[in-house]
Structure 1
Amino acid sequence: MDFVNGYLDAAVRFVEGYIDLDYSLWLWRLLTPLIITFLLPLVFVALIYISFITLFVYKLHRQVILQALISEPNFWDIGRKVVAAIWDAHGRIYHGYEVTGMENLPESGPALIVFYHGAIPIDMYYFLARVYLQRNRLVYTVGDRFLWKVPGWGLISDVFKVSPGTVQSCATILKEGHLLAISPGGVYEAQFGNHNYELLWRNRVGFAKVAIEAKVPIIPFFTQNVREGFRQIDFWSWLFVKIYNATRIPVRPIYGGFPVKFRTYVGKAIEFDESLTPEQLTEKVALQLEELINKHQRIPGSILKALLDRIPFKRKSN
């Protein structure tokens, strides 16, 4: 204990030698009123924008929300509609979010949606909200197990039907007539993908087994510029791969939140074919998803050009 105390005393003396603590405290007390003076107006600005978003959500989706209130839905229907309306409004305002190919999604009946996983799957949140508001269909989603360690996620997963998922449980969801979304790349693709938009599925065929077991079509799904909205740091990749393989916890830092253009492309359904093995079906889906990416995504991705995509004029497809 004396040894530890000696080190602490030495550390304190070192800090005191370079920093005048009394002067720092005096300076902090002097500047506090000035800092508060500049921060308080920002609070009012934030309240103004919260008011704007609330009114925008009501204007955009008032019919859906009022219909949910008038009818007698189950307990969570109104809550889901309100949250979906907020996410949809955020997507429209912040990313100019659009969906192309919504007609490829069935009005009723089951289908397996297979999507490319961005650093943060915010595009999937927008898409789920859009489908729920426009089609009144809830898309069940498979999420990684680590999410249930995040405070508050349990309630969100219960209300919006997110689960870790096994082949059997996913097949059951589809057999009951629901839509189900899976990213074969999962957290690994989210953490270690980059602006070249390569699929990192690591020979996973579980989703194909699900589709074969449930005898349902597969719909490929990709969002343009999803890697430009959020990215991971580029250095020490080898270290983060080792940590992830050992712990299955995403630890690679993410940066961004750039208001780039997001446009989701829903591909044509790959109909069930009983002659295909899971490996063959996986390869077929991967090829179609890569076609969507190559057709609609600028490769390598560019944050600046993705920001310019927000400008409403015709641009050549890359």
Structure 2
Amino acid sequence: MTSSTNLTYIYEDLIGTICMESYLLSGIMWLPLALLAVPFWILCFVFISAFIAVFFDKMTVSKGTYPDMCLLTLAYLWDIFGRIWHGYEVHGIKNLPEGPGLIIYYHGGIPLDYIFLIARLYLRKERFCHSVVDRFVLKFPGCQKLFEKLCMDIGTKETCLSVLKHNLLGISPGGTREALFSDENYTLIWAKRKGFAQVAIDAKVPIIPVFTQNNREGYRTLGKLSALQKLYEKYRMPVVPIYGGFPVKWNTYIGEPIPYDPNTTAEELVKKTKNALQTLIDKHQKQPGCIGRALLERFYNHSRKDKLT
């Protein structure tokens, strides 16, 4: 081999190394922007949904368009998002009662999994689920008609009882606090909340626990910062940054319902519900959660038994 050939190989190796370093530095520089891009993308989806709600509201008034077309369009929009970005699947659909029931779910950093669930239920089972949300959510600019169409409310006892006469209702007892300050160990943060249990008892409906695998690996928060925790507890300001948007595998598991029992107190029902939800977490979630492992699970074949896709 001639010296010129050797120099050629050395030159190619050098150029290759420089290119690899260049790509690596570029990736490091763009990573923060990428982590913020998906949450921004979700915000765009919200405003697109708000536009759809307003559009169909006007069409309904002026031309008599079939009202459920709005819900159908919204359901397809979010279901497509879930399928493509998270390979979203639902397991245990048979556990949902035919009649009314109270869905209790673990609240992730961004509750997209719950949105995907109600979209999938509407598309495949024609079941619509009302939702209890935090007050600040309803103040989101430009989305009042959307929240009205999706039957989202702060959830007073009277409104909850009214909904549970004939419909499904979704509540996360952990709410915003659990969303912001739980972590990859999937800790349930319910404080002393028991209102949901009393509502279930008064309405005489079962409670259905729901958990989404890899929830925290998709969207994470900086909730471990003590200063942000103190700020929230003092002023109820949800200013904890959320980042991520990793396309990890999401499987939502619907647990067996906890039947109505007139002899069970609200305190006992809270404990039963918490144990049922914790059982789902322990069964289906490896703890602590790992983003890399959750990404690899996109390529695994899951059992198709009792799965709604």
Aligned-partner SS, 1:309: helix
**Correspondence for 2:196:** 207
For residue 78 of structure 2, the aligned residue among 63, 87, 91 is: 87
Q: Quote the Cα distance in structure 2 between the aligned partners of 1:74 and 1:137.
A: 21
Matched residue pairs, number? 242
Structure 1: gaps spanning 5 or more residues: 1-71
Provide the identity percentage.
48
**Correspondence for 2:286:** 298
**Correspondence for 1:38:** none
Shift of 1:242: 1.5
Q: Quote the Cα distance in structure 2 between the aligned partners of 1:138 and 1:74.
A: 19
**Correspondence for 1:275:** 263
**Correspondence for 1:196:** 185
**Correspondence for 1:104:** 95
For structure 1, which segment, 148-157 or 260-269, has the greater mean C-alpha deviation from structure 2 after superposition?
148-157
**CA-to-aligned-CA distance 1:84-132 (integer Å, 9 cap, x gap):** 011111111110000000111123x100000000000000010010001
**1:79 corresponds to which letter in structure 2?**
C
**Correspondence for 2:299:** 311
Q: Quote the Cα distance in structure 1 between the aligned partners of 2:134 and 2:230.
A: 18
Structure 1 residues 136 and 246, CA, compared in 2 at 3 Å: closer, same or farther?
same
Aligned counterparts, 1:5-16, within 5 A: none
Per chain length, whose mean CA-contact separation is higher, i.e. which structure has more relative contact order (CA < 8 Å, sep 6+)? 2
Aligned-partner SS, 2:110: coil
**Correspondence for 1:61:** none
The question of whether the paired residues in 2 share the 8 Å contact of 1:120 and 1:190 is answered with yes
The question of whether the paired residues in 2 share the 8 Å contact of 1:147 and 1:153 is answered with no
Q: Quote the Cα distance in structure 1 between the aligned partners of 2:223 and 2:100.
A: 39
Aligned-partner SS, 1:124: helix
The question of whether the paired residues in 2 share the 8 Å contact of 1:139 and 1:179 is answered with yes
TM-score, normalising length from structure 1?
A: 0.73
Alpha-carbon RMSD? 1.8
Q: Quote the Cα distance in structure 1 between the aligned partners of 2:65 and 2:252.
A: 30
Aligned-partner SS, 1:118: coil
Is 1:183 the equivalent of 2:165? no
Aligned-partner SS, 1:117: coil
**Correspondence for 1:244:** 232
Structure 2: gaps spanning 5 or more residues: 1-62, 304-309
The question of whether the paired residues in 1 share the 8 Å contact of 2:181 and 2:223 is answered with no
Q: Quote the Cα distance in structure 1 between the aligned partners of 2:117 and 2:134.
A: 19
Aligned counterparts, 1:1-318, within 5 A: 75-107=66-98, 109-175=99-165, 177-233=166-222, 237-313=225-301
Structure 1 residues 81 and 280, CA, compared in 2 at 3 Å: closer, same or farther?
same
The question of whether the paired residues in 1 share the 8 Å contact of 2:223 and 2:229 is answered with no
**2:282 corresponds to which letter in structure 1?**
N
Runs of 4+ in 1 over 6 A off after TM superposition: none
Q: Quote the Cα distance in structure 2 between the aligned partners of 1:79 and 1:266.
A: 26
Structure 1 residues 185 and 234, CA, compared in 2 at 3 Å: closer, same or farther?
closer
**1:202 corresponds to which letter in structure 2?**
A
Larger Rg: 1
Q: Quote the Cα distance in structure 1 between the aligned partners of 2:64 and 2:276.
A: 38
Shift of 1:216: 0.3
Aligned-partner SS, 2:164: helix
Shift of 1:214: 0.3
